[in-house]
Structure 1
């Protein structure tokens, strides 16, 4: 008996006929899923659909660093240092911090060897002392792995989006890139403000393109061998996997246009847009699936934000829980042992391909309108994201999307929280450009909660 002759492949048409018969549907269109990106996904895919799309081997290492996010604002240098040391001793292999003001940085990093751990440090122009103090550390590679580990980011476009104005001028702010040996793109605000996956990808690509254009014009692009992307990962499991895979493909394609080669480092962090203080331990479930999406999507480094952030002051418990989620996935589930876990999945490959197409078309539209910064200055990007956020929020209000403990099965004795401990959005100032702010779907329901 010849196995392949006895068991013939089932065609897509045969699958459709069987599905329609079993589910008593008149058309396969009834089972299609329309994603927020406007992408239509079939209820099944097989080899026939797989053969219709181009394939690109992403070729990234399956391993990832467990990176502890430590909110530096409102904490003293001594507290920051203590949390860093506890995190590294507790299983983290990297740290992620943000500084938007001057600090005693030598105290923050006392007894910390930055070149030997992954360090993802974001600063503003008010915290430039950190870059100059640790310039030699930032520039050197890890002597053992021969890779860049220390990333000190100052991303002028991100700061422009966050505060609604340039520190000085666009040209002057961009010149800070000459102090760096990598190109920083902090894309977290797109997701946190409400953009859907295709918008996120398009804006991130346009964000990077602004820097590539600038450095090319200054004839300095050849000096930059590293690109570091910070991006948020949400709760739509396969969407987020496909998004990260699509991001790497899109960046590689963009670099080819510049005939430039650079190492692409993607740092993924769990998002805040779907988190709530209502029945707060449900956030642990949300961050678990988000972290798995980041792993399967091929992120190089991953941060699980504490389940009670930004609602409560971080504690040893919440930091440990955030670390342990990734430690279990890495050290007990061995999710870091397989290269391209989702490669060959008919569904994920097709979804990735469609996201690439949707995002690239959006990116081309942005470039035809003079680029990302021009659209930000005219509040067009902000308007697009607001429409996306409102459409997603409407689904939660109508119970078409579910947040357990928030709009479904709320805790009967949940008390309304008077304030959020960490204020992530800057103090309101009047600017012509609308800042991109952190938003959460649950706020709508939290504001309706009464103290019991």
Structure 2
């Protein structure tokens, strides 16, 4: 007897079997329970059924074809294990980075928005901005071997660019990127922050060239909803569709400005996305896949021959505050969030350590965060499959719904 000899079962037959198990007096009550309790609506416009079958892939051939192309073009199946370091003092931050690199970290993100250097300081009545000493910050760390991401303002770009040209023998091998705070601020507060100063800095930067293919100069953080006078931004509180839509709108605005001074073929490959990863496991997987699809489509509207199918995605888990009676509960949450980012196809992953109040716990928390990513890569073999979610009825369907909703929001 062959497997095909068994009679198939339709979606409607499965649904009727489920309805039989629901304890309700009438069929209408059962159907109401099914619709209200078994069908999930994680956010407006998105619907998750209680079960999926091959029939749910009907009409989604375009999506499967796209991700097959992405899997074939992807340069690596692994990801960069990034550690975030806030820079208050260059020498201290350098030691923290080198220590992390000996303990499983494979990439560093320096947050340069903290004092000194991130905010203007008053000196003798004059407003000045401290320029970081990158020779101290990056002592012993070569961007040709270690990807480094800098979160900074445009006023630091020339300083960084000059340093890298001096110490790196071949800038074409630079790895990492820059996260400009101004990009997000110009989208959130357009009347107060413009891209004008940033554009001038980018125009003269030697890093903005096709000769630095592995250095993403336009990494964009999650962008919240534009503020009014009485609102506060909470990016994590926004729905997935809204969050990604605002992020795409912000980068499109910058590209439109940049296109007046730089070739579009130089601009598009420099774009990368930083994505916050939440707890809704399958939604997190699908949103990375949808983002990749939408950006590829946007890129082709700028330049039909652009090859943006393997866009750089940097995922970061949430910063968690563990309950006092379960101090390491965050370990499980971080692991599932990291798994969803990896299955979604992230290129870099920053597992955020839990927000412990005890300094000793904080040190251990950082090591645990590094190990989550390392274990998934080195011992769980998540890096051995290019597209883990390919063909999943649920994930493919969710990806389609999210992508459609993003397009609708971008088109309004």
Calculate the TM-score normalised by the size of structure 1.
0.72
Distance of 1:110 and 1:354 partners within structure 2: 47
Distance of 2:49 and 2:291 partners within structure 1: 22
CA RMSD of aligned residues (A): 2.6
Distance of 2:375 and 2:318 partners within structure 1: 20
* Paired positions, count: 354
2:333 is matched with 286
- The answer to whether the aligner puts 1:130 opposite 2:160 as a matched pair is yes
State the Cα deviation string for residues 373-392 of structure 1 (Å, max 9, x = none).
xxxxxxxxxxxxxxxxxxxx
The alpha-carbon distance between structure 1 residues 139 and 249, as it changes in their structure 2 partners (threshold 3 A), is farther
| Structure 1 contact 307–318 (Cα < 8 Å) conserved | yes
Map 1:24-39; keep pairs closer than 5 Å.
24=23, 26-27=30-31, 28-30=34-36, 31-39=38-46
| Structure 1 contact 183–211 (Cα < 8 Å) conserved | no
Query: Is there any run of 5+ residues in structure 1 with no aligned partner, and where?
Result: 143-147, 366-452
Which structure ranks higher in relative contact order (CA pairs < 8 Å, sequence separation ≥ 6)?
A: 1
Once the two structures are overlaid, the 10-residue window that deviates more, 293-302 or 153-162, is 153-162
The alpha-carbon distance between structure 1 residues 193 and 18, as it changes in their structure 2 partners (threshold 3 A), is closer
1:380 is matched with none
1:105 is matched with 134
1:231 is matched with 275
- The answer to whether the aligner puts 1:151 opposite 2:177 as a matched pair is yes
Distance of 1:309 and 1:352 partners within structure 2: 35
1:212 is matched with 255
State the Cα deviation string for residues 52-95 of structure 1 (Å, max 9, x = none).
323221323421111111222xx322211111111111111111
- The answer to whether the aligner puts 1:269 opposite 2:312 as a matched pair is no
Paired residue secondary structure (2:382): coil
Query: Is there any run of 5+ residues in structure 2 with no aligned partner, and where?
Result: 25-29, 118-130, 210-215, 225-233
Out of 83, 87, 92, the position equivalent to 1:79 is 92
Out of 214, 218, 221, the position equivalent to 1:187 is 221
- The answer to whether the aligner puts 1:253 opposite 2:297 as a matched pair is yes
- The answer to whether the aligner puts 1:174 opposite 2:199 as a matched pair is yes
- The answer to whether the aligner puts 1:200 opposite 2:246 as a matched pair is no
Distance of 2:389 and 2:197 partners within structure 1: 43
- The answer to whether the aligner puts 1:301 opposite 2:348 as a matched pair is yes
The alpha-carbon distance between structure 1 residues 255 and 218, as it changes in their structure 2 partners (threshold 3 A), is same
Distance of 1:364 and 1:159 partners within structure 2: 22
The alpha-carbon distance between structure 1 residues 164 and 203, as it changes in their structure 2 partners (threshold 3 A), is closer
2:126 is matched with none
Calculate the TM-score normalised by the size of structure 2.
0.78
State the Cα deviation string for residues 140-179 of structure 1 (Å, max 9, x = none).
233xxxxx51313335322446888756x53333333322
The alpha-carbon distance between structure 1 residues 2 and 163, as it changes in their structure 2 partners (threshold 3 A), is closer
Distance of 2:370 and 2:298 partners within structure 1: 34
1:371 is matched with none
| Structure 2 contact 109–150 (Cα < 8 Å) conserved | yes
Structure 1 residue 277: Cα displacement: 5.4
Structure 1 residue 276: Cα displacement: 2.4
Once the two structures are overlaid, the 10-residue window that deviates more, 131-140 or 339-348, is 131-140
1:411 is matched with none
Map 1:363-378; keep pairs closer than 5 Å.
363-365=410-412
Structure 1 residue 264: Cα displacement: 1.3
The alpha-carbon distance between structure 1 residues 311 and 71, as it changes in their structure 2 partners (threshold 3 A), is farther
The alpha-carbon distance between structure 1 residues 310 and 135, as it changes in their structure 2 partners (threshold 3 A), is farther
Paired residue secondary structure (2:45): coil
